[in-house]
Amino acid sequence: MSMVVDERLQRLRSELDDHSRVADRLGLDLERPLRSLNDGYPENAVSLVGKLTEKLLKELWRHHGIEGDPSGRALNDLVKRCQPHIRSSTVLNALDDIRRLRNRSTHDGYDISDEDGLLAVRRLVDVLVWFTSTSSSALLGGEPHMAPEVARRCEFLAGLYITLGYRQAKRFVLTSDTVYQLFCRESGMRLEYVELMVSQDVDDLRAVLTSDGGELLRTRLPKLTRFVILDEAGEDEELPGPVRELLGRDYRLVRYDSFIDRHVDLDAHLADVTSAECAEPRTAVTATVLSTDARTGEPLIQTAEDAATLLGRLARGQANILITGRPGSGKSTLLRTLAADAGARRFRFYFDLGLKPRDETFPEYAARLLSPCMTADRSRAYDLFLYLIRSGSALCVLDAVDEGVDEASPAGFLRLFADLAPVLSAESTVVMSSRVSFLADSPQIRQLLDSGTARSEQLVEQMYANGLDPTRVPHFHLVRLAEPDATFLEMRLTALLQPASPQPLDALLGAHITKTLADHGQADAEERLPGVFGRAFLTDQTVFSLLDLHRDLGAGAFTDGRLELDSCVLALLLRPAGPDRVAFVHTAYQELLAARYLATPSGREEAAELPGGAFITEQVRAFLARIPTMASTDDCVLPAGVHLVGPAERLLLRRVRRAVRFDRHAVTVGRYRRFLDALRPDGTSPWDHPDQPANVTHTPWTDRLRESDYYRNARFDDHPAICVSWWSAFAFAAFEGKRLPTALEWEAAARGTDGRLFPWGDESDGAPINCADTWVGHPVVTFHAWQQEFAQEALRSAWVTPVTERAANRSPYGITDMAGNVWEWTSTSLDDAGEAVICGGSYDNPLRAVQASSKGIYRKRGCSNAVGFRCVQDITDPEAVTS
């Protein structure tokens, strides 16, 4: 062993000696890894460190009463299950390193070097330092002669200073109510000392100090001595004369609850939230709470008359909360009110993720916002935040979570949750808000937020792949805000504008923009706003510098030549977002401008070419659907052009390259019967796909049909052709000189250029559609409701209906029944060539699953009562209409 390694080994031996108390109590031989390293067996040292760590974690498991028996648990499992009870990110990183080295040594077959062995011991020391320095009763067995509250608070303060880079130099338990702590930190070439005396009351403190004539305090260390009194004494309270004489002038009397103010000014952090101008009228909002029965795992739905009262009650507990509601429904108002409530939790934080740049991680964003509020150690802002969150006494509000993702998709949200994992898995309360109903409706995300046992292995693997430990994410209560006749935002705008009749949100926003510019004599500037702010939103830009506004809107956008927010003609629509930077007071303003930009063919064309794709929210789509951008036709022709497609969480602009004519109706039994008459005796045809497998026949699978004479009885001639495989649908289309549509063509034909939810528009009330809601007689909200109300009862009567029965179920191009009744085959395959995409939903799906964007995957050889198809024909006429 080299001299350098030997010196490091000696230093580690010395540091391990400091933890003899933990070693004696738990029966740990801390010398064994060092002996193995000294003898030249680093792999044994790594293995021994792993075993010692297992013993530590098992003790931690038992102390916190984690469900199950830790005996026989592997290191990986012990780390996962104990993580929520470890406040220090340093300790968690150390455990990850030990686990990684142990796995490399045991399973991966890597050669283990002396450096690996030294690193394993070093990381074990880091774990021991935390628990020894904080005197955690989990490993040290507590202090029987200390008051429990004093022990708990001493542990918190010790952990706080270790987080800030200090180490504990001395600690004396003076009485059951008074403890002395001295911390030291290297700062450049000098040492910084902090001295704390934690006491239950002044009388005990006086007795301690006078008992030795003040010898305890007679040191020459450069320090600021603080005395933390754990009673109701104010900071200006006078201590008894003898105590003051012993203390001298280098002390401060601080209440425990306000001690953290010495390190971070949380009032300054919340200044914008608590300011008078941010206050909103107090109006009760009805909310629906979706939670899970702890015993049965079944979803529970309850209604609360006042969402604010509900949130206050939940925030004082340990459960996390996800609030969903449409724009302007009052989510931010509720969250700001909650964060401003000093009685909610001891420490409170508020982060607007709508202002977080997409390329900035949450730790970077949080550190940037908190650094100016730190009285010192700004580089440790996030570490301090994380420590307070892990303390279990904090409230962290994450507003506009859906605007903080890099991509509104399951993968995008999982990446965001991975970024937020240390916060979401803490013992504190986290409240999130989102306008994206996908967070509430997606089974994957619901399983993630419910932290239930119903998670699939695939989901668990996906969470691990994205860096998120499923066991570290606690249960979330889902709070849906009711949709009143008018939201907070609509009520404010209505009071301001006083329209002659009730107006929808887009009309109110547009009228406010028009009035604001007109009042400043800049009415002509409105036509430029979509190209500036609307296009910017599509590139994911929501924050602008004042120089940006001057450049894009011209000098006339500022009065008196002052480049300041209050002199901008749009000042009433903007809010500060940093030094010389602004954002709209509500994202809906910019979303309306984005919809106006997309309402023009040139805007759609340009947006379709944006690098990485356009950023389109569900609200942009909803606004666009209300702008009359296209005239309905009846020729069933989908023109070439750019179309808005995709589900709410992943809206995209895609180009249809050539015009095609769709069948007005799905292929019917009557049409398919003519094809059957042209088949060969073996059930094949001259129009078969060249890759069609052997033994495939185009004769429908009559044994699966609800009605055995479905293809023989003339009364079914106007019903969709079902129980037909993809290979048969392909051959039929070729038989008629046509083809199957692509999934893109199918969805574009169903939605038009405005991305409507249903072929007829966005309205779902009294929908002309054959789906589960129709057969049940009311909306089917949850999967549990579908199981109870549809699958058990209505499924017996629900089936396909004639394709001509619902004339109102019509797309902008005159194509009918593209939502519900039957899924329809497309020519699109994804990863597996033996499967194809189906579109539109069927009679046994709830309404929310039969939107024009609904898609599924079905095996090509499959035949189902719920799957049919329709054909398209390419238009070769060069004069064909384009959008």
In the predicted model, what is the mean pLDDT of residues 767-791?
72
In the predicted model, what is the mean pLDDT of residues 208-236?
60
Angle at 5 between CA 3 and CA 8, to 5 degrees: 110
Structure tokens that stand for 133 in this block: 């320095």
Residue 848, pLDDT > 80, answer no
Mapped onto helix, strand or coil, the DSSP state of residue 560 is: helix
The DSSP code for 850 is: S
Q: Which fold has domain 278-341+390-481?
A: Rossmann fold (3.40.50)
Quickly state the pLDDT bin for 153 (edges 50, 70, 90): confident
Task: Return the higher-pLDDT residue of 831 and 488.
Answer: 831
In the predicted model, what is the mean pLDDT of residues 458-469?
52
- In the chain, CATH 3.90.1580.10 sits at 637-874
DSSP string, 183-194: EEEEETTEEEEE
Task: Return the higher-pLDDT residue of 806 and 421.
Answer: 806
Residue 758, pLDDT > 70, answer yes
Give pLDDT, residue 53. Answer: 92
Give pLDDT, residue 535. Answer: 96
Give pLDDT, residue 182. Answer: 87
Distances (CA, A) of 18 to 10, 21, 131, 217: 13, 8, 12, 24
- In the chain, CATH 3.40.50 sits at 278-341+390-481
- d(C-alpha 334, C-alpha 312), whole Å: 10
Which amino acid does the sequence have at 606? E
Residue 485, pLDDT > 70, answer no
> Tokens 């202002």 sit at which residue?
355
Which of 32-36, 81-85, 264-268 shows the lowest per-residue confidence on average (mean pLDDT)? 81-85
Give pLDDT, residue 343. Answer: 76
Q: Which residues have CB under 8 Å from 145's CB, separation 6+?
A: 173, 176
- d(C-alpha 37, C-alpha 5), whole Å: 10
Quickly state the pLDDT bin for 241 (edges 50, 70, 90): low
Task: Return the higher-pLDDT residue of 830 and 22.
Answer: 830
Q: Which residues have CB under 8 Å from 27's CB, separation 6+?
A: 55
Task: Return the higher-pLDDT residue of 57 and 190.
Answer: 57
Residue 417, pLDDT > 80, answer no
Report percent pLDDT > 70 for the chain: 81
Angle at 623 between CA 622 and CA 629, to 5 degrees: 105
Give pLDDT, residue 456. Answer: 43
Mean pLDDT for the chain overall:
82
Quickly state the pLDDT bin for 337 (edges 50, 70, 90): confident
Q: How many CA atoms lie within 13 A of 187 on its CB side?
A: 13
Which of 352-356, 450-454, 680-684 shows the lowest per-residue confidence on average (mean pLDDT)? 450-454
- In the chain, CATH 1.20.120 sits at 3-135
Give pLDDT, residue 379. Answer: 87
Q: List pLDDT tens digits, range 600-620.
A: 999 999 999 998 889 898 889
CATH match of 637-874 with 3.40.50.920: no
Give pLDDT, residue 643. Answer: 94
pTM of the entire predicted model: 0.67
Give pLDDT, residue 468. Answer: 53
- d(C-alpha 406, C-alpha 365), whole Å: 14
Percent helix, strand, coil in the chain, to 5, is 45, 15, 40
Residue 244, pLDDT > 60, answer no
Residue 685, pLDDT > 80, answer yes
Residue 283, pLDDT > 90, answer no
> Tokens 């940006």 sit at which residue?
548
Report percent pLDDT > 90 for the chain: 34
CATH code of the domain made up of 3-135: 1.20.120
Q: List pLDDT tens digits, range 541-576.
A: 999 999 999 999 988 889 887 899 999 999 999 998
Max avg pLDDT among 106-115, 227-236, 238-247, 354-363: 354-363
Rounded to a whole number of angstroms, the distance between the first and last alpha carbons of the chain is: 77
How many Cβ atoms from other residues are within 10 Å of residue 657's Cβ?
Answer: 9
Q: List pLDDT tens digits, range 555-564.
A: 888 988 789 9
Give pLDDT, residue 277. Answer: 44
Give pLDDT, residue 716. Answer: 95
Report residue 512 CA to chain centroid gap: 32
Residue 747, pLDDT > 90, answer yes
- d(C-alpha 498, C-alpha 249), whole Å: 63
Residue 298, pLDDT > 60, answer no
Q: List pLDDT tens digits, range 168-192.
A: 888 888 888 888 888 888 877 778 8
Quickly state the pLDDT bin for 278 (edges 50, 70, 90): very low
Residue 459, pLDDT > 70, answer no
Task: Return the higher-pLDDT residue of 298 and 845.
Answer: 845
Residue 41, pLDDT > 50, answer yes
Which of 302-306, 388-392, 825-829 shows the lowest per-residue confidence on average (mean pLDDT)? 302-306
Task: Return the higher-pLDDT residue of 867 and 413.
Answer: 867
Give pLDDT, residue 729. Answer: 97
Partners of 810 in the β-ladder: 816
Partners of 696 in the β-ladder: none
How many Cβ atoms from other residues are within 10 Å of residue 454's Cβ?
Answer: 11
Give pLDDT, residue 271. Answer: 86
